[in-house]
A and B are shown apart, each in its own frame.
Chain A
């Protein structure tokens, strides 16, 4: 399997089949991330298109200096928030922190997941974002710092605070190893 860097090198030479491989490698992750920000399927699909159009515009001189997710994360976030703002589909009180979380009943019947969703709703946005980047996007703390353009120490402290809140809440305490 070709690495992202090898694929990018091929795309820089004009090979569209390499772009196709890269697209399918990150498509699902990108659309899920967009959905997390927009809370809307159609908007997420729009973000997907715009994201890969943006990526396409980087060729033929694209040089990937970080991981692909680190590169794409801020792009997807920026496009998502712009689309969301433009569409005005949500009321002002229904901000990103609420719209990001899907109704757990549509995804799982697990009570623990319901409780997790409830605790996540009370987490400050900047803490929740880092928690999700680590546990859903499987990004390292260094990658998170790069993607959000914040110091590594800030990432660590935010993650620590997020976990602290989860640990202190009886509904999510069971996730922690004794």
Chain B
């Protein structure tokens, strides 16, 4: 088959002059006037359609960055929540160590009452009672003890 094709390609008897192409063009290429209205119609249609598509493309172009931004925001929020949880757990751990205000070996709501009374009496406050670590010994620490006392394990 390859040989057969080559035979066509190399047949010198089938070499034609340029005139064949020119005469064929003269026969089949009439000077058809294309009205400007046709051009305008087609190009207006293109302009309308492509501008619509461009706006879709713009929307599509924004979907990625917006989704990425949303993902970052979500990630940051979740991280913060995890940090807060971690902080809470640390406080809880500290609280477990320091919340036995009455030193009876148990942490219960009575420890919270005890600390509240000590704060109210304006007695000397032990730094270890800064349960929530805010530098102050106040109702926040009482609440923290209460929270530890009633938390489920």
| A136/B25 contact (C-beta < 8 A), A14-B57, A157-B8, A176-B14 known | yes
Please report the total number of B residues contacting A with Cβ < 8 Å.
39
Which of A15, A35, A177 lies in contact with B17, CB distance below 8 A?
Answer: A177
- What is the bound-complex CA distance between A153 and B38, given in angstroms? 39
| A160/B53 contact (C-beta < 8 A), A102-B28, A116-B24 known | no
- A49 close to chain B: CB less than 8 A: yes
State whether B43 touches A107 (Cβ < 8 A): no
Q: Scoring A residues 24 to 42 as 1 if CB is less than 8 Å from chain B, else 0, what string do you get?
A: 0001100110011000010
A interface list, Cβ under 8 A from B = 11, 13-16, 19-20, 23, 27-28, 31-32, 35-36, 41, 44-45, 48-49, 52-53, 56, 59-60, 100-102, 104, 106-108, 110, 112-113, 116-117, 120, 131-132, 135-136, 152-153, 156-157, 159-160, 163-164, 166-167, 175-177
B interface list, Cβ under 8 A from A = 1, 4-5, 8-9, 11, 13-17, 19-21, 23-30, 32, 34-35, 38-39, 41-43, 45-47, 49-51, 53-54, 57
> Could you list 29 A-B pairs, sorted by A, with CB under 8 Å?
A19-B47, A19-B50, A27-B39, A32-B29, A35-B30, A44-B32, A48-B34, A56-B50, A59-B49, A60-B57, A102-B27, A102-B30, A106-B30, A107-B26, A112-B23, A116-B27, A120-B27, A135-B21, A136-B21, A136-B24, A136-B25, A136-B28, A163-B14, A175-B17, A175-B19, A176-B13, A176-B16, A177-B16, A177-B17
